[in-house]
Amino acid sequence: MKLNRQWTWFHRLGSPRWFYQKTQCWLPWLGAIAAILLVTGLVWGLAFAPPDARQGNSFRIIYLHVPASFLALAGYYLMAIAGAVGLIWRIKLSFMLMKSAATIGAALTFIALFTGAVWGKPTWGAYWVWDARITSMLILLFLYLGMLVLRHAFTNHESANKASAILGLVGTVNVPIIYKSVDWWQTLHQPATIKLTSAPSMHPDMFAPLLVMILGFYCFYALALILFTRAEILERERRASWVRELVAEKQGGL
Amino acid sequence: MHPIRRQRLQWVALIVVAASIAAALMAYMLGQNASYFYAPSQIVAGEAPIGVNIRAGGMVVEGSVDRSMDSLEVSFIVTDGLENLQVTYSGILPDLFAEGEAAIAAGKLDSKQILQATQVLAKHDENYMPPEVADTISEAYQRKQQHQPEPQEALQ
């Protein structure tokens, strides 16, 4: 069967053992790049970028708020696609990636909401308002948390995987809503500063460190995803012979 | 692709499409009700209810902020470029509240279409710039204003 042979590479890609071994050598590189970008971006943004004409120094929280929000949204798609691939091809690794992405996504969404609240008090005069942007972002947090909690409602791994993958897919509709909420409805939250279609409405001296931070967050996200997934692999495959050998090796080395 | 997997793929697509349609219908139904505030022109057109808590937002008109000398009473006008709305408020305004900048006031409309606000929030726009750049822009704007007399003056 020619057709089947074409798909074998795809299944090999989905082997937890292959993933665990392959990613081993990526980790130090990814970690170094993420650390360099994040340190450069933070120091540049917090200490060297000029203050904003109206907000003064409080605008600097953008260097955490915007990258965290970006990755919270992009990570949701990654999680939903991993869930879909898992549902269609029944690939174990895919579900492990999905769960890891849910954990990281929940943390990033919380950071986005928290930094937004801290910034909102001095800028708007309120920590929290129920406008379309903030409310839809809170729904995103609940979707991420739901992904994690739903797993515990099932005793068997397979049903838990399927159920949370479906929840993840249903939740994808929220991502474009969050993104467009500031344009569709009148919100207290300002419209996007960085757009794909036009130049950012931000001075280049302030935008450059933001770009570095966004790149740094992408690398950090990749690193965190790989680390969480590796831990998940060891946990779920603990009865596999290669994991037992790995553990025996580590214990022997001690 | 294996027929079973193709079928599963169709299910996945169906879930996403069905959820999207449901969300689109909900967004359509909510319409402007999901907006955080009314624009002054909506209020003047009578879209906002009188005597219940609403929010109104717009740009604070230059020179319209009138502070009381012996209390925290303040009144100002917000505009969306089409209509104006008078707002009265008693309390401390947020630091970023300023003339020519956006603000959102929450409170009740009285019969004279004046918003009796209980809370005023400043709305920030999507522009970020260093103070020197902002000064240069406002200087250039003022210079332009001086060179171009008001249309009414030109007529006289």
**pLDDT tens digits for range A162-181:** 999 999 999 999 999 999 99
| CATH number assigned to the domain covering B36-122 | 2.40.50.140
**Tokens 């071994």 found at:** A21
B22: nearest CA partner in chain A = A173
Closest CB from B12, B23, B126 relative to A192: B126
Q: Which two tokens stand for residue A101?
A: 């992405």
Burial state string for A135-154 with b = 16 or more CB within 10 A and e = fewer than 16: bbbebbbebbbbbeebbeee
Q: Is the pLDDT of residue B142 over 50?
A: yes
- How many other C-beta atoms can be found within 10 angstroms of the C-beta atom of residue A243? 18
As a whole number, mean pLDDT of residues B130-143 equals 83
Q: How far is A126 from chain B (nearest CA, A)?
A: 7
Among the ranges given (A176-190, A197-211, B5-19, B141-155), the one the predictor scored with the smallest mean pLDDT: B141-155
A91: nearest CA partner in chain B = B5
Q: A87, A124, A164: best mutation site toward chain B, by most B Cβ within 10 Å?
A: A124
Q: CA–CA separation, B51 vs A77, rounded Å?
A: 44
Q: CA–CA separation, A121 vs A105, rounded Å?
A: 25
**Tokens 């007399």 found at:** B149
pTM of the model: 0.89
Q: Which two tokens stand for residue A114?
A: 């928290």
Confidence bin at A4 (pLDDT 50/70/90): low
**pLDDT tens digits for range A76-117:** 999 999 999 999 988 999 999 999 999 999 999 999 999 999
- Chain A, residues 66-125, CB within 8 A of chain B, namely 84, 87-89, 122-125
Can you state the angle between helices A92-123 and A62-89, rounded to 10 degrees? 160
User: Hey, what amino acid is at B9?
Assistant: L
**CB contact A205 to B (< 8 Å):** yes
CB within 8 Å: B120 and A125? yes
Closest CB from A166, A177, A203 relative to B15: A166
**pLDDT tens digits for range A30-63:** 999 999 999 999 999 999 999 998 888 999 999 9
Domains of chain A in start order, with CATH, are 26-238 (1.20.120)
CB within 8 Å: B19 and A122? no
Q: Is the pLDDT of residue B153 over 70?
A: no
**CB contact A53 to B (< 8 Å):** yes
User: Hey, what amino acid is at A7?
Assistant: W
- The whole-number pLDDT of residue B137 equals 81
CA angle A160, A88, B15 (to 5 degrees): 75
